[in-house]
Structure 1
Amino acid sequence: MPGRGLHRMKRTLCTAALTAGALVAALGLPAAAAQADPAPRVDLRVLVASDGGPATEAIAAELAAAGTPYTEIDLTRPDRPVIDAGLLADTVDGRPRARFQAVVLPNDNPFPAGSAEMAALAAYERTYGIPQVDAYTYARPEAGLQYPTAGGYSGSVDGVRAEVTAAGKAGPFGYLDGPVPFEDNDPAVGESYAYLSRPAAGADFTPYVEAAVPGLSTRGTLVGEYRHDGRRELVVTFVYNRYQQQFRLLARGIVEWMTGGVHLGASRNYFAVDVDDVFAADDRWNTALNCTPGDVDCTDSGAAPDPIRMTAADVDHAESWQAAHDFTFSFAYNAAGTVEQREDNNGADALADKLIADRDTFHWINHTYTHAFLGCVQDTAVVPWRCATNADGSTRWVSRNEIDDEIATNRVWGQRAGLPLDEGELVTGEHSGMRVLPQQSEDNPNLALALDDNDITWLASDNSRDPAQRRVGPATTVPRYPMNVFYNAGRAAEQVDEYNWIYTSRAQGGSGICEDNPATTTCLPAPLDTATGYAGHIVPLETRIALGHVLANDPKPHFIHQSNLAEDRIAYPVLNGVLDGYQALFAENTPVVNLRMRDIGAELQRRAAWQAALGDGGVTAYRIGDTVTVEAPSGLAVTATLPTGTTLAGTAFGEAYAGAVSGWTPSTGAPIGLVLPASAAAPAAGSAGRPVPATDPAPATRVPAGVTERVAYAAER
Structure 2
Amino acid sequence: MRRSVRTAALSTTSALLLALAAPAAQGAATPAPRIDLRVLVVDDGGPATAAITDELDGSGTPYTLLDLRRADRPVIDAGFLADTVAGRPRAKFQAVVLPNDNPFGADSAEMAALASYEKSFAIPQVDAYTYARPEVGLDYPVHGGYSGSLDGARAEVTAAGKAGPFGYLDGSVPFEDNSPSVGESYAHVAKPAAGADFTTYVDAPLPGSQQRGSIVGEYRHDGRRELVVTFVYNQHQQQFRLLARGIVNWLTQGVQIGAARNYFAVHVDDVFGADDRWDSDLNCTPGDVDCAPGQGEPDPIRMTPADAQYAAQWSASKGFTLDMVYNGGGSELFKEESGGSDPLAQQLTADKDAYRWVNHTYNHPFLGCVQDVTVVPWVCAKNADGSTKYVSRSVISAQIADNRSWAQRAGLPLRNDELVTGEHSGLRILPQQPDDNPNLAPALADNAVAWLGSDNSRDRAQRRVGPALTVPRYPMNVFYNAGRTAEQIDEYNWIYTRAADGGSGICETAANSTCLPEPLDTTTGYTDYVVPLEARIGLGHALANDPRPHFIHQSNLAEDRIAYPVLNRVLDDYAALYAESTPLVNLRQRDIGAELRDRAAWNTAVKAGRVTAYRIGDTVTVQAPGGVRVTATMPAGTRQNLLLGTTGFGSAYAGAVSGWVGPGLLQDRVTLTLPAAVPTAAGSAVAAPVQESAPKLPLPAGVRQRVPYGVTG
- Distance in 2 of aligned mates of 1:345 and 1:381: 30
SS in 1 for 2:533: helix
Which whole-Å deviations, capped at 9, do the CAs of 1:602-624 have from their partners, x for residues lacking one?
00000000001112222111111
Q: Secondary structure at the match of 2:187?
A: strand
How far has the Cα of 1:300 moved from its partner? 6.2
1:542 paired with 2:500, answer no
Equivalence map 1:463-542=2 (5 Å): 463-517=456-510, 519-521=512-514, 523-542=515-534
**Corresponding residue for residue 672 of structure 1:** 670
Q: What CA deviation, in whole Å up to 9, does each residue of 1:45-74 have, x standing for no partner?
A: 000000000000000010010000000000
Aligned with residue 658 of structure 2, among 652, 658, 662: 662
The 3 A distance-change label for structure 1 pair 288 and 475 is same
Contact 1:435 1:441 in 2 (8 A): yes
Distance 1:332 1:514 in 2: 31
Aligned mate of 1:372, from 349, 365, 385 = 365
SS across alignment from 2:487: helix
Structure 1 residue 113, shift from structure 2 partner: 1.3
2:248 is aligned with 1:250: no
- Superposition CA RMSD, Å: 1.6
Contact 1:633 1:667 in 2 (8 A): no
| Among candidates 101, 104, 108, match of residue 97 of structure 2 | 104
Partner of 1:318: 311
| 1:98-154 Cα deviation digits (max 9, x unpaired) | 000000000011112110000000000000000000000000000000001101001
CA distance in 2, matches of 1:511, 1:431: 26
Partner secondary structure for residue 156 of structure 2 = strand
Task: Say whether 1:350 aligns with 2:350.
Answer: no
What's the offset of the Cα at 1:671? Answer: 2.7
Q: Which residue of 2 aligns with 1:222?
A: 215
CA deviation after TM superposition for structure 1 residue 517, in Å:
2.5
For the 8 Å contact 2:302–2:558, the answer to whether it is kept is yes
1:705 match: none
Contact 1:89 1:99 in 2 (8 A): yes
Residue 701 of structure 1 corresponds to which residue in structure 2? none
Query: Hey, what's the Cα distance between the residues in 1 that align with 2:290 and 2:489?
Result: 20
Amino acid of the structure 2 residue aligned with 1:368: T
Q: Shift in Å at residue 217 of structure 1?
A: 2.0
Contact kept in structure 2, 1:621 and 1:630, CA below 8 Å: yes
Supply the distance in 1 between the matched residues of 2:322 and 2:688 (Cα, whole angstroms): 52
Kindly state the Cα deviation for residue 408 of structure 1 after the two structures are TM-superposed.
0.9
Tell me the distance in 1 between the aligned counterparts of 2:653 and 2:114. Answer: 33
Spell out the pairing of 1:63-462 with structure 2 (5 A cutoff).
63-299=56-292, 301=294, 303-462=296-455
Matches within 5 A, 1:615-654: 615-649=607-641, 650-654=646-650
- Equivalence map 1:560-571=2 (5 Å): 560-571=552-563
2:503 & 2:312 partners in 1: Cα distance? 38
34 and 57 in structure 1: CA distance in 2 versus 1, 3 angstrom threshold = farther
Q: For residues 570 and 308 of structure 1, do their structure 2 counterparts lie closer, same or farther at Cα, with a shift above 3 Å needed?
A: same
Q: How big is each residue's C-alpha offset from its partner over 1:414-471, in whole Å with a ceiling of 9 and x where there is no partner? A: 1111111110100001000001001111000000111111111000000000000000
Contact 1:626/1:681, CA 8 A, preserved across alignment: no
C-alpha change, 1:122 and 1:366, in structure 2 (3 Å) is same
Distance 1:71 1:681, change over 3 A: farther
In the alignment, structure 1 segments of 5+ residues that lack a partner are 1-32, 690-717
Secondary structure class of the residue paired with 1:445? coil
Q: Distance in 1 between matches of 2:467 and 2:618?
A: 43
CA distance in structure 2 between the partners assigned to 1:36 and 1:199 by the alignment? 42
SS at match of 1:308: coil
The one-letter code matched in structure 1 to 2:439 is: N
In the alignment, the residues of structure 1 paired with residue 69 and residue 105 of structure 2 have an alpha-carbon distance, to the nearest angstrom, of: 13
Deviation per residue, 1:140-188 (Å, 9 max, x gap): 0000000011010011111110000000000000000000000011111
SS at match of 2:423: helix
- Name the aligned partner's letter for residue 514 of structure 1: C
Distance 1:633 1:216 in 2: 57
Taking structure 2 as the reference length, what is the TM-score of the superposition?
0.90
Higher relative contact order (CA 8 A, sep 6+): 1
Q: For the Cα contact (< 8 Å) 1:636–1:667, is it kept in 2?
A: no
Is 1:586–2:578 an aligned residue pair? yes
What residue in structure 2 maps to residue 24 of structure 1? Answer: none
| Contact kept? 1:635, 1:667, Cα under 8 Å | no
- How far apart, in 1, do the equivalents of 2:670 and 2:655 lie? 23
Amino acid in the other structure paired with 1:676: L
C-alpha separation in 2, matches of 1:333 and 1:344: 19
Q: Is the CA contact (8 Å cut-off) linking 2:293 and 2:374 kept in structure 1?
A: no
Q: Is the 8 A contact 1:482 1:559 kept in 2?
A: yes
Contact 1:102 1:130 in 2 (8 A): yes
Q: 1:62 aligns to what? A: 55
CA distance in 1, matches of 2:295, 2:657: 61
C-alpha offsets along residues 382-429 of structure 1, whole Å, 9 cap, x if unaligned?
111111111111100111111111111111111111111110100001
Decide whether aligned partners of structure 1 residues 579 and 55 sit closer, same or farther in structure 2, where only a CA change above 3 A counts. same
Q: 1:229·1:686 contact (CA, 8 Å) conserved in 2?
A: no
Q: In structure 2, the residue corresponding to 1:348 is in which secondary structure?
A: coil
Work out the CA distance in 1 between the residues paired with 2:339 and 2:689: 86
**Within the alignment, does 1:49 sit opposite 2:42 as a pair?**
yes
Q: 1 CA distance for matches of 2:295 and 2:247? A: 61
Provide closer, same or farther for how the CA distance between residues 687 and 307 of structure 1 changes in structure 2, counting only shifts above 3 A.
closer
CA drift at 1:688: 6.6
Question: What whole-Å deviation, never above 9, does each CA across 1:646-665 have from its counterpart, x for those lacking one?
Answer: 01132221100000000111
Supply the distance in 2 between the matched residues of 1:401 and 1:506 (Cα, whole angstroms). Answer: 45
CA distance in 2, matches of 1:34, 1:179: 47
Q: Could you say which residue in structure 2 is the equivalent of 1:604?
A: 596
Alpha-carbon distance between aligned partners in 2 of 1:104 and 1:687, rounded to the nearest angstrom: 19
Native 8 Å contact 1:632 1:667 kept in 2:
no
SS at match of 2:461: coil
**Cα distance in 1 for residues equivalent to 2:294 and 2:678:** 72
Amino acid at match of 1:603: E
In structure 1, how many angstroms separate the alpha carbons of the residues matched to 2:511 and 2:410? 48
Instruction: Name the SS for the 2:247 alignment partner.
Output: helix
Written as runs of structure 1 = structure 2, the 5 A alignment for 1:1-16 is: none
Query: CA offset at residue 246 of structure 1?
Result: 0.2
- 1:262/1:302 CA distance change after superposition, 3 Å: closer
